[in-house]
A and B are shown apart, each in its own frame.
Chain A
Amino acid sequence: MNNFLLLPIIIPFFFGMILMFGQKNISYQRVTSLVGLLISIVCAFLLLLNVYENGPQVVTFGDWPVPFGITMVADSISSLLVLTTLTLAFFIVWYGFKSIGKEREQFFYYPGVMFIITGVNGAFTTGDIFNLFVFFEVLLMSSYLLIVLGGEKAQLRESIKYILVNVLSSAFFVITVAFLYSVVGTLNMADISIKIAELNQPGILTVIAVLFLLVFGMKAAIFPLYFWLPSAYAAPPIPVLALFGALLTKVGVYAIMRTYTLFFTHDLAYTHELLLILSVITILAGCIGALAHFDVKQIIIYNIVIAVGVILFGVAQMNEVALEGAMFYLIHDMIIKAALFMLIGIVIYVTGTTNLRKMGGLMKTYPALGWFYIIAAFGLAGVPPLSGFVGKLLIVQGGFEAGNLWSSVFILASSIAVLLSVIRIFIYAFWGEQGTISPNVNPSTYKGLFIPTMLLVFISVAYGVGTEWITPFMDHAAKMLIDPSIYTDAVMKGGE
């Protein structure tokens, strides 16, 4: 009985509600949402320390015994993800002050952000498979609002596709949960894990595992199911894009990670082999997309697909090193994607175009922007002192340990494609002749955009340099992932 773990979910939810009042008062909206996020960040940080010292925190709603009530579980995996989510949301909201525009701010943009954070944090923390579905819907509903808010032509067109795909995958989710419920007869994730271990995962459960991969793969954009992502993410304005790119696909990745390490661990030769193959093709597809485009937004969007592939490759290895790497890479990727989207948002603001071929020579006028971009780009590719290095190193090491020699080499090779795709932005936009410059660049707006971005890049650098301090938390998380009994014990005992 420990309600503290609910605070990072309840506080954004509460602030979302009170933001529905005073819709036209922009300063009230801005201050309230920042204060709400700050309080939640403090709570999430305390929660992380608490989980690290005292093990997983469990609360079952309404004082019901465990498999019968809805359980919320905060282990090191979810508390790390919750803290990252809230921190990113803080910087993205701050960045949005100067770029989202008055009309959107006055029309429930901030409540939308708060509710999306509620959904994401809830999905990371829940211990009940149907509750996971509900939190998915909470975050998807809010994302529908944010993607269409503003009502530009492209937004209307892409939101129809986005909603269609997500309604379909949500229906599949319900069907899959129905199948699972009819086989194991429970919805509590710890209880499902125990029941599946007792049944020793017969064929029907492997089918359900593949169905879950289909459902969560649609949310996380893995290879044959990523078709909706590039055009849908290009439509909304930059802060919304940063929020989506950093958080939404990662919830799907987390769900695959959770189901494939907690539930379906008895037929690795089939399920995890499938995950491995799909993740390798996902990386390939992402690399092709990232190298093919001359549109800055599209290049970074395809890098989301690549990162999803890399993380799932780590999950598919099912050994402690690779899972620790996957956790490192997951958090790194959330931070760096938000930073990169914010950086190219500034580039688009100062040049007034998304086309790389029209840009050039920004290094002379905006040297600081150029340097921060190059740091973030090296971080994304995984250059040693920076944040992407350790995760990928551990993933590849885990791949070698599991005997997947060629696919691990492929992961290393894909880093070159990632580096090439982001360095191309640097070469085209920052070097060479002076390209187009937007005529109405306001220095104070530029500063307002640049400061949160700069701080976020600093955080990503600190994440890379301070690996030593973060490793204990990641070790903790990897142990949880490799040994489901820690999770099930914590939940089942917590109910007594």
Chain B
Amino acid sequence: MKTNDVILQFTAKIVFFIIFFYAVHIFFAGHYTPGGGFVGGLVTSSAIVLLIIAFDLKTVKSILPINYLYLVAVGLLLALGTAAFSMFVGEPFFTHFFDYFNLPILGKTSLHTAALFDLGVYLVVVGVTMTIIQTIGDDE
């Protein structure tokens, strides 16, 4: 018998975006308020897990055709690159840089290279969590 989970699937489609944007919010809020790459990554992967529960692994793989192992590697490279960038300009490893910029819509914004490092963390967390869940879910 095929179960009809139209309500779950419909809700998941909407809630996925709410969770995802919340994850983006706490990712960017990390410097001044609680949050950051780690929590942001976990919340993002929980949004993807919601999709997996509402649909199934195959469908989610086809709508998000991401190799999560590569995502981990890219995240690591980004984090190492951010940390190592300062080596090339003659500062100690892991020195961060920041400045204030006048962006078109947002106005005066402070941009900090620590956010790039955090983006690396974010990608690694999403990649690792999704690899674990997909691998265990795939296993017969």
Chain A residues in contact with chain B, CB under 8 A?
Answer: 1, 3, 6, 10, 13-14, 17-18, 20-21, 23, 59-63
Contact = CB atoms under 8 A, between A and B. Distances in A.
Given A20-B70, A20-B72, A20-B73, A6 B93 contact: yes
A63 B73 contact: no
A21 B69 CA distance: 8
Of the candidates A3, A6, A10, A20, the one having the most CB atoms from chain B within 10 angstroms of its own CB is: A3
Nearest to A60: B92
Of the candidates A10, A17, A18, the one having the most CB atoms from chain B within 10 angstroms of its own CB is: A17
Contact of A3 (B72, B76, B92): B92
B72 A61 contact: no
B56 interface: no
Contacts of A59: 92-93
B95 A63 contact: yes
Name the 5 nearest CB pairs between A and B, nearest first.
A61-B94, A20-B73, A62-B94, A3-B87, A17-B76
A321 B20 CA distance: 63
A60 B92 CA distance: 7
Interface residues of B, number: 15
Contacts of B93: 3, 6, 10, 59, 61-62
A377 B106 CA distance: 71
A10 B92 contact: no
Contacts of A10: 80, 84, 93
A204 to B, nearest CB: 33
Interface in B65-105: 69-70, 72-73, 76-77, 80, 84, 87, 91-96
A226 to B, nearest CB: 33
A18 B93 CA distance: 20
B81 to A, nearest CB: 9
Given A61-B92, A63-B95, A17 B87 contact: no
A223 B76 CA distance: 39
Contact of B92 (A17, A21, A62): A62
A339 B88 CA distance: 38
Contacts, number: 42
A21 B71 CA distance: 10
A201 to B, nearest CB: 32
11 contacts: A3-B93, A6-B93, A14-B77, A17-B77, A17-B80, A20-B69, A21-B70, A21-B73, A61-B93, A62-B92, A62-B94
B73 A62 contact: no
B1 to A, nearest CB: 37
Nearest to A62: B94
Contacts of A61: 92-95
Contacts of B73: 17-18, 20-21
Contacts of B92: 1, 3, 59-63
A63 B91 contact: yes
A63 B90 CA distance: 11
Given A17-B76, A21-B73, A61-B95, 16 more contacts: A3-B92, A10-B80, A10-B84, A10-B93, A18-B73, A18-B77, A20-B69, A20-B70, A20-B72, A20-B76, A59-B93, A62-B92, A62-B94, A62-B95, A62-B96, A63-B95
Of the candidates B69, B73, B80, B92, the one having the most CB atoms from chain A within 10 angstroms of its own CB is: B92
A211 B11 CA distance: 54
B50 to A, nearest CB: 27
A13 B80 contact: yes
B116 to A, nearest CB: 14
Contacts of B72: 20
Contacts of A18: 73, 77
A346 B84 CA distance: 41
Contacts of A62: 92-96
Nearest to A58: B92
B91 A1 contact: yes
Contacts of A6: 87, 93
A14 B70 contact: no
A208 B19 CA distance: 46
B58 to A, nearest CB: 22
Contacts of A17: 73, 76-77, 80
Nearest to B91: A63
Contacts of A13: 80
